[in-house]
Chain A
Amino acid sequence: DAKTTQPTSMDCAEGRAANLPCNHSTISGNEYVYWYRQIHSQGPQYIIHGLKNNETNEMASLIITEDRKSSTLILPHATLRDTAVYYCIVRGVSSNTGKLIFGQGTTLQVKP
């Protein structure tokens, strides 16, 4: 599975959009991009995933560049409850183990 690089930390004002970048320059054609988050002391929570096309669900949007070497998770209207560590994970479609490899993630602090 390809390695990902994320900023260590970011701040966002409450009510504004939070844009969390992720670099995955060695991603291969059959690898998905996943985003999870971990709110303090809780279990990780799935947010969204995608392969090539941009994706949107009730929690967030995922924008994947055309070359697939980077992506951005967008929380359209961040709230204080979105303060968490956000993990960008790349996993191969051929991987049948389901293993998720977590990096250090980005600590997002949403401020009033």
Chain B
Amino acid sequence: DTAVSQTPKYLVTQMGNDKSIKCEQNLGHDTMYWYKQDSKKFLKIMFSYNNKELIINETVPNRFSPKSPDKAHLNLHINSLELGDSAVYFCASSRTGQGNEQYFGPGTRLTVT
């Protein structure tokens, strides 16, 4: 069973479109994250949700809006896509508390043309 899953795995779309990436975890964790890995391979945190509440928002444009319908899901909606949004987006989850490792999904490669 996949612990953290993301859909779709690949997403190709045109500038200006609105798209969503879905993330689900079956680990019973109460904290979920979105990370972005750009073309230079740097991984950077975007958002973190704990028990459906936003606790990290790392200066991400407000075109990006995370939505957590329940503790097992954290979806990423992106409006008015731009070329610079092309990247690999990773979802992760963990238990709340110190020293708890994060489990990452397989990633979604977004290409904006």
Contacts and interface: CB of A to CB of B under 8 A. Distances in A.
Residue of A41, A96, A100, A104 with most partner-chain B CB within 10 A: A100
A99 B107 contact: no
Interface stretch (A43-51, A60-68, A76-84): A43-51
Interface of B: 4, 31, 33, 41-45, 48, 50, 55-56, 58, 90, 92, 94, 96, 98-107
A97 B98 contact: no
A33 B58 CA distance: 22
Q: Give the size range of A's interface with the partner.
A: 20 to 34
B103 A102 contact: no
Q: Determine chain B's interface SS by DSSP, over half rule.
A: strand
Contacts of B44: 102
Q: For chain A, what secondary structure do more than half of its interface residues adopt (helix, strand, loop), or is it mixed?
A: loop
A95 B56 CA distance: 12
A97 B107 contact: no
25 contacts: A32-B98, A32-B99, A38-B43, A41-B107, A42-B106, A42-B107, A43-B4, A43-B90, A43-B105, A43-B107, A44-B90, A49-B101, A93-B98, A95-B98, A97-B48, A97-B56, A98-B33, A98-B48, A99-B48, A100-B45, A101-B45, A102-B42, A102-B44, A104-B41, A104-B42
